Amino acid sequence: MPKITFGKVLNILIIGVVLLIIGRYFYMKPRFINGEQVPVIQAQLKNGQAFDLSDLRGQYVLLDFWGSWCAPCRKENPELVELNKAFGTAAFKNAKGFSIVSIGVEDNAARWERAIEQDGLDWPYHIMDTATSLRFFDGKIANDFGVKQVPTKYLLNPQGQIIAVNPSVSEVRERLSAQSNN
């Protein structure tokens, strides 16, 4: 019978941890990459109006998957508010404008609405994506986009193509500044 040493156990443990980290990276990675068209989003906004993402063609669009329960999302919200103030009415060289579409991965509408109010998310496009089963990221939109964690972001060009996957707010600001007429 082969002798099991501490070194062999440690090597197996290290290999297992590396495989776990690599597997988690690929599992948590969003579904789409730069240059791809996004799926259709048709939903109801917080105010009850119908929403169709294709209506925003011609604009830069930041799709922001977030949650009222998500501490990193809530911490980032003030930056998004500033981004919207800076570019929500800006003129661009090749686009009609800029919009943020916030997609709340939620199971509690009251908590979601309270977070929008508390964080001052004053843009018009707020969608609640409720899970359809016990899996939290099983809402239609999150599922269509392969979202498995929040925050997840996609920046779209005026043609509706993805130009950045999970960009930081400062990266979005840089891209928009480069295209702004200001």
The reply to whether omega before 151 is within 30° of 0 (cis) is yes
Domain boundaries, the chain: 1-30, 34-179
- Model confidence at 182, pLDDT cuts 50, 70, 90, reads low
The CATH code that applies to domain 34-179 is 3.40.30.10
Beta strands 60-66; 152-156: pairing state: antiparallel
**pTM, two decimal places:** 0.82
Q: What is the pLDDT of residue 31?
A: 59
CA angle, 71 as apex, 101 and 155 as ends, to 5°? 30
Residue 91, pLDDT above cutoff 50: yes
Tell whether the model's pLDDT for residue 162 goes beyond 60: yes
- Whether the CB-CB separation of 160 and 54 falls below 8 Å is answered with yes
Q: Counting runs of H as helices and runs of E as strands, what totals does the chain give? A: 5, 7
Phi and psi at 33, nearest 5°, equal: -125, 170
Of 57 and 21, the one with more pLDDT: 57
Q: What distance in Å separates the CA atoms of residue 129 and residue 3, rounded to the nearest whole number?
A: 54
Per the model's pLDDT, the better-predicted residue between 152 and 134 turns out to be 152
